[in-house]
Amino acid sequence: MTRMSYREAMREAIRAAMREDARVFLMGEDVGRYGGTYAVSKGLLEEFGPERVRDAPLSELGFVGAGVGAALGGMRPIVEVMTVNFSLLALDQIVNSAATLRHMSGGQFSVPLVVRMATGAGRQLAAQHSHSLEGWYAHVPGLTVLAPATVADARGMLAAALADPDPVIVFEHVQLYNTEGDVAEGPVDIRRAAVRRAGTQVSLVTYGGSLPKTLEAAAMLAREGIDAEVVDLRVLRPLDLPTVLASVRKTRRAVVVDEAWKTGSLAAEIVARIAEEAFYDLDAAPARVCSEEVPIPYPKHLEDAALPQAEKIVAAARALFGKP
């Protein structure tokens, strides 16, 4: 086991992939000389050179499209989009091209493309750079959508993503880059959710940057005598519903924590699936803890108030037991 930061884990995953397969290259804004906006690619240009670590112009539509073309041509591109809000400029390439080409070609073509992007709020980047749009991509057939929430997943998921013949989107929450944890060698299963804390009385279902807050809430609930299980989705498409439903059927209560806005959220989909498939196993209606329905504010106290926090998760779980 090796201890490292989430940022270092992502860097080591990219480095290992590039060393092992000459077809793998990294492309995006400021990934080369600057070392990446979040310093994930620092040092890679010096090791692999400008042919394999390519600084792209400020045109997400253009360089993501180039990544799609490179994947069709037999390469294994890792395309970094600086933040998720910028990815909206490349939706045509991701949703209308990468996600559909296998289907539209009758299985003749695949697009082994990995798109990495930073997501989430909490760093006072205001309404411009605080989006949580993972649910938008999880809506689209043809994509695999990953949200590594632990250092081990940050290190292990990329190899499995690059081995996938179809496009994979990797969401890296900005609040996780400085977190530290232990990692082991080898790829991670990118089809399964993970139970991060076993419990018997309420299931807290979450992903990405909300996992640390949810684990904190579970610890707070334990001090009140409520035994919470924490399920980390990890993979947002395809959703591992069997793991979620097994947890809910055991605890008979569910709170879904999602940093996205509540309306039309991934949390809404998960609650709907629970209601459809585990309704008669529930002792209380499922609850959701999401961001307030406003553009994320800049002032720190307002940003904190707009986002899911451990205290909000605890309050939602308490309510399922009829406690104030």
Residue 204: partners with Cβ closer than 8 Å, 6 or more residues away = 214, 217, 218, 228, 229, 230, 231, 254, 255, 257, 313, 317
Identify the pLDDT of residue 186.
Answer: 76
Q: What is the mean pLDDT of each run of 10 residues along the chain (324 residues)?
A: 94 97 97 96 97 96 98 98 97 98 96 98 94 97 98 96 97 97 87 97 98 98 98 98 98 98 98 97 98 97 97 98 88
189 domain residue, yes or no: no
Identify the pLDDT of residue 275.
Answer: 97
Identify the pLDDT of residue 185.
Answer: 78
Amino acid at 52: R
DSSP character for 318? H
Identify the pLDDT of residue 1.
Answer: 78
Indicate if 29 and 167 belong to the same structural domain: yes
Active site residue 60: yes
Report the DSSP beta bridge partners of residue 291.
261
Indicate if 167 and 276 belong to the same structural domain: no
Name the residue range of residue 158's domain.
2-183
Indicate if 131 and 162 belong to the same structural domain: yes
Active site residue 129: yes
Of 29, 60, 229, 303, the active-site residue reads 60
Listed in order, strand segments (DSSP E) in 147-272 are 168-173, 180-183, 194-197, 202-206, 228-232, 235-237, 254-261
Supply the CATH number for residue 16's domain.
3.40.50.970
Indicate if 14 and 149 belong to the same structural domain: yes
**Spatial distance between the Cα atoms of 83 and 81, rounded to a whole number of angstroms:** 6
Q: 163: buried, middle or exposed (CB in 10 Å: 19+, 13-18, 0-12)?
A: middle
188 domain residue, yes or no: no
Identify the pLDDT of residue 256.
Answer: 98
- Give the chain's domain count: 2
Supply the CATH number for residue 298's domain.
3.40.50.920
Of 183, 212, 242, the position where a domain reaches its end is: 183
7 domain residue, yes or no: yes
Of 8, 29, 80, 129, the active-site residue reads 129
